[in-house]
Amino acid sequence: MFTSNIRSLSLVSILLLCAVVGCVRSSTPTVVPSAVKPPVVAAPPIPPPMPVVETPEPAPPEPVVAAEVPTEKPDEKPLATERLLLLAPQGPLIVEFELWIDGQPQADEFDRLLQEVLKLADTDLDGTATWKEVTTSPKFRYGQFGNLPIDRENAPKQIIQQYDLDGDGRVDLAELPRFLTRNAGGARAFSVRSIEQFHGRNRRGSPTWRALDTDNDGQLTKAEIEAAAAQLRLLDSDDDETLVVGELRRTTEVELMPGNRTRGIRGDFARVLGEHANWDSIRAALEEQYALGGTLGSDDFGEQRELFIHLDEDKDGKIGRKEFPRLNTARSNLFLRLQFGQPTVSQAGSPRTSPMIDVAYGNLLPSREGSFPTVISWPNRVTFRSPGVSLKFVRNDTLATVDFAAQAQQGLAMYDADANGYLESSEVSAAVQQQFGRFEALDADADGKVYLLEITDFLRQRQGAQRVQVHARVQDQEDSLFLALDENADDRLDARELERAAARLQQLDANSDGAITVDELPEEIVIVIARGSIENQEQLFAVGPVETRAPSENLPSWFAAMDTSRDGVISAKEFLGSAEKFATLDRNQNGFFEPDEIPQPTSPTKEVIPLPAESTERNEP
């Protein structure tokens, strides 16, 4: 009940204002059981794929049946794909990526750039580009393609020594990408790195573990599990009923803060497959991970027996050295399609209707316990969860979609003082040249005049290699226990997840002894697929906050206004009415006022705002 008419009027005013203006809130992700099949062996018949489960907007904890995730590759024109071998805890997985740049296949865009540069490098038009031609051509002298400038006396010699790897004097396709990216981008269109940053501290040494293990005995006891929700709420420093790792980190040692982490070392999480695969490295990694350094046998691949059968070509029950290249022809477990830049109309009806990361098909197997993996999808990330392991794929694009022609037109209009349609050196100051590029670099034909097309080409070429190369890094995460509690994989614990913390912890108790040890925590592997400058890897491969979707148009604005934690439901603390009114609205008595519990209007033109009875009556229009 409200204490005064003034307070009632104020509340109604606030709610009506929210109804008019509207409020933004985050939406829940799509959560689906992955479509999966058992191994293809001469055993029981293959069951039908599991139905996809999708949560409505916003979602209750339990998923609702929707469409199906494909279990076969789309029957389309074959495109060049990139294949990655993940050394997951329960067996190796093969992930296939179909990459698109500005609506075109990435491999085509990468090849287009190399052919363009080779053509420009062949200054004598004899059909062969040489490094001598490159180092003497004005097309490359000022770093127009992102390469090192060749404007010092000894620069040509240094360039040839650094990039002519086979010493034959000719520019080939393996040498050219390194030249264009100053060695940072590598020689290929797609590169893979693997790094371990936390060295096991993401389990017992994690912020969440230290916060809950109050007696510091290395396990979470029954009492600590039951007190988990209350203990976590105590650490909600901004009192918004939502926890992020940063809030928990403040309660632990300074050494766990990002700026004080141990320098990352190469991790054995992944290897690249395909024509550039290092088979000795792949063999050593697989044998070390799954056979303790010995020869791989039929029991070493765990749930991935189908893959073992494919590799064991001679059927001798072990994988020999010559059989590892068969990984290139094995069926992939996951096929993801990623877009960078702007998709074309042929791919999507509008630039934003086509997902930037999409699961084309999945072939993940159920666990030994029979539970199927689930898929949690947010914009720019997809998470696959199975008992004991979670795979998170994150798409990062640090390069903005640029209209180079419009940018060039703007620059020409700004500096063309005499408005004659081109720039002269006298019109471009030294300061402007230092910021955007030397006049000589812009003047492609060296006629002393820079036209619109020359400016456009210069802007496009300067980031050419960065725009067509894609890099992946496979890495560990800071806090395994936090990720286990984060049921919707949005990198925060909302009010519902905090309420369910004890129940979720009990699910992790694999041996049912009433306590949790660090070896019962699931492992999460993060795969960041990114486009941008590889020179700043921490920025390029950063796992940022979840990008939220637009709020549902079906929700009243007053509901979004009360939902201050942006988790799609209203808690008792957020509710602006009385406790009695909240209890009435919370029909399922789960402690939250959910969208499906919103009272329906009595007339089509009247919106029901759930205020206390007397306040609603006094202020009804």
Number of residues that make up the chain: 621
**Cα-Cα end-to-end distance for the chain:** 20
Q: For residue 14, what are its two tokens?
A: 């606030």
379 against 23, higher pLDDT: 379
pLDDT of 281 > 80? The answer is yes
Predicted confidence at residue 547, as pLDDT, reads 67
What value, to the nearest 5°, has the Cα angle with vertex 346 and ends 340 and 351? 50
Instruction: Tell me 563's DSSP state.
Output: -
Instruction: Tell me 170's DSSP state.
Output: B
Residue type, 30: T
Predicted confidence at residue 40, as pLDDT, reads 34
Cis peptide, bond prior to residue 379, ω within 30 of zero: no
80 CB-contact burial (10 Å; exposed 0-12 / middle 13-18 / buried 19+): middle
Residue type, 353: T
| Mean pLDDT (the chain, rounded) | 79
585 neighbors 599 (Cβ within 8 angstroms): yes
Q: What crossing angle do the helices spanning 452-462 and 404-415 adopt, rounded to 10°?
A: 130
Residues 6+ apart with CB under 8 A from 617: none
Predicted confidence at residue 580, as pLDDT, reads 85
Dihedral sign computed on CA atoms, order 587, 593, 594, 599? positive
How do residues 487-541 score in pLDDT, each as one tens digit? 989 888 988 899 999 999 999 998 999 999 988 998 889 999 999 988 888 889 9
300 against 34, higher pLDDT: 300
Q: Which domains does the chain have, with CATH numbers?
A: 5-27+550-618 (no CATH), 404-462 (1.10.238.10)
Residue carrying structure tokens 């759930």: 610
Predicted confidence at residue 307, as pLDDT, reads 92
| Across 64-68, 77-81, 208-212, 563-567, least confident range | 64-68
Dihedral sign computed on CA atoms, order 77, 81, 86, 91? positive
Q: pTM score, two decimals? A: 0.77
SS3 track for 515-558 = CEEHHHCCEEEEEEEEECCCCCHHHHCCCCCCCCCCCCCCCCHH
Q: Which of 316-320, 429-433, 476-480, 580-584 has the highest mean pLDDT?
A: 316-320
Q: For residue 52, what are its two tokens?
A: 């996809």
**Short-list 561, 198, 534, 556, CA closest to 396:** 534
**Short-list 509, 464, 451, 410, CA closest to 101:** 464
How do residues 142-155 score in pLDDT, each as one tens digit? 888 888 889 888 99
Residue carrying structure tokens 């720039």: 423
Predicted confidence at residue 71, as pLDDT, reads 57
pLDDT of 572 > 90? The answer is no
Residues 6+ apart with CB under 8 A from 535: 184
Measured CA to CA, the distance from residue 51 to residue 452 in angstroms comes to 55
**Short-list 262, 263, 228, CA closest to 248:** 228
Measured CA to CA, the distance from residue 142 to residue 244 in angstroms comes to 47
Measured CA to CA, the distance from residue 280 to residue 285 in angstroms comes to 9
Average pLDDT over every residue of 460-478? 90
416 neighbors 423 (Cβ within 8 angstroms): yes
